[in-house]
A and B are shown apart, each in its own frame.
Chain A
Amino acid sequence: MDSVNTLTLFLYILSTAGYIAYLFLQKAYLQRIGYALLFVGFLFHTLTIGYGFVESDHIPVGNLRETLCMAGWAVAGVFLIIQYRYNIKILGIYAAPFIAFTMVIVAQLPDEPTQTQTIFKSVWLISHVIVIFIGEAAFALACGIGLLYLLQENAIKTKRHRFFFKRLPSLDLLDTVGYACIVVGFTMLTLGLITGFVYAKSIWGRFWSWDPKEVWSGITWLFYAALLHERLAVGWRGRRSAIMAIIGFGVLVFTFLGVNLLLEGHHKDFTKV
């Protein structure tokens, strides 16, 4: 399986190179190559994760390596769908390096076999993990789109129409896609929390146990809920929405990694090095 892992990483890095070349040279075929490479990389990635699942008989999120590997996979999958749906070509310049970087870190981490605990084998847990990862991937992309939005808005406001102005799409498209990512992310996060509660109830007998991860997930959820509420209520869009998406992702990364690394709690195992 090691060679497949290397191949996957190699494809992601090539895809990144393709997107960087596209950014500078603006040839449409470069973007198509980058997309195709990422797609093939994603297929191999899926294969690895599926293999890990079958082999160990539980969802492979037993240590930091597996968790990050799963995160990279989710971002790749959601990116492929978003790109296909909205044809927002330039997004790859954020997504491909993001995925490649995650996978480089994965390759650096030790691959230790994880002890299977019986509590990991539950339909609720599996759906909890998958749904949460998809949601987090969508938020990661929303953050990238937010960054692109700020770049483009800055170019328009300061009237400097150099590099980015020509390469980035319209503010309207960036805003629409960013919003779509947040809606998807929020829906998934909500489902993830619900399945988590159900799972917690079935294992520990209570829905909520003030675990730091739970608390921070709640904070993240409230943050995105506020963003969506403002958008629906007073039409918050554009710059503010973009900034919120970026900050939101910061909170999310802390919930995802920071809580496990800095605080104690029952999610600790997932980021064990």
Chain B
Amino acid sequence: MLEISISKKLLGATGIIDFEVTCTFEKGEFWTIFGESGIGKTTLLRMIAGLDTPDRGSITMDGEVWFDSKKRINLIPQKRKVGFVFQNYALFENMSVLQNLLFAQPHKDISKAEEILEAMGLLALKERLPNTLSGGQRQRVALARSIAQEPKILLLDEPLSALDALTRSRLQDELKKTHEIFKLTSLMVSHDRSEVFKLSDQVLWLKEGKIFQMGKPKEIFLSKTSTSKFSFEGEILNIEKKDVIYVVTIGIDKQIVEVVVDESEVQELQVGNIINVSTKAFAPIIKIK
């Protein structure tokens, strides 16, 4: 169990942010740190790993104090036993896949390292150098390497953000599978809702450096919906007058839709508004692609 209660002044995109988070992460859970970029999600992971230092507060892992500003305790990263998957994977380019894992292990054990590679379908690549691997393979090696560390907690900093949509979706499944096999307490930074939904047991939603919402993804993301059966959040991209009606172009995730509205409705709308698009009367039709 990881307990954190920390604060730090951060220089964000919009100015100084007072980052302040208190939270407890239970053993074996998969958490997502969700929110816009530049509000301290990555910094939170880095503070847990000991790569950045909070201004005040405490971080305790299974009763062991990693950081306590009052008692002036600040364990170096080497002593914290965290596995960190960096956004750029940070693979050691001069070492083969297997050597990367062996280097990460607290005690060198080839058969154990090979077991991990086997479980993640990477065994065939064990002699390869990282720069001969594809983006998706590199990501998996990075994940395998941090598992080889036998960490108390796994920290994943937007591990899938650099990949194309297809690879990403496949790796989300793998990440889920890997979590089920190794049961590591995991904290993943993400700003992709579908990813959060697919993977996490719990979500920590940050806004402007503070906890905005916390709980199961279903509760958090579905609680805002009205009584309507079908509802999506989107952004107004364009409003165009056509004869007596208006056509509003809305971006919903990666889709763009056009919705017809009348003059009384259009009064309240502006380009850039975040809105809810819902339908009540029609049953949606679902087709397999």
- A interacts with B: no
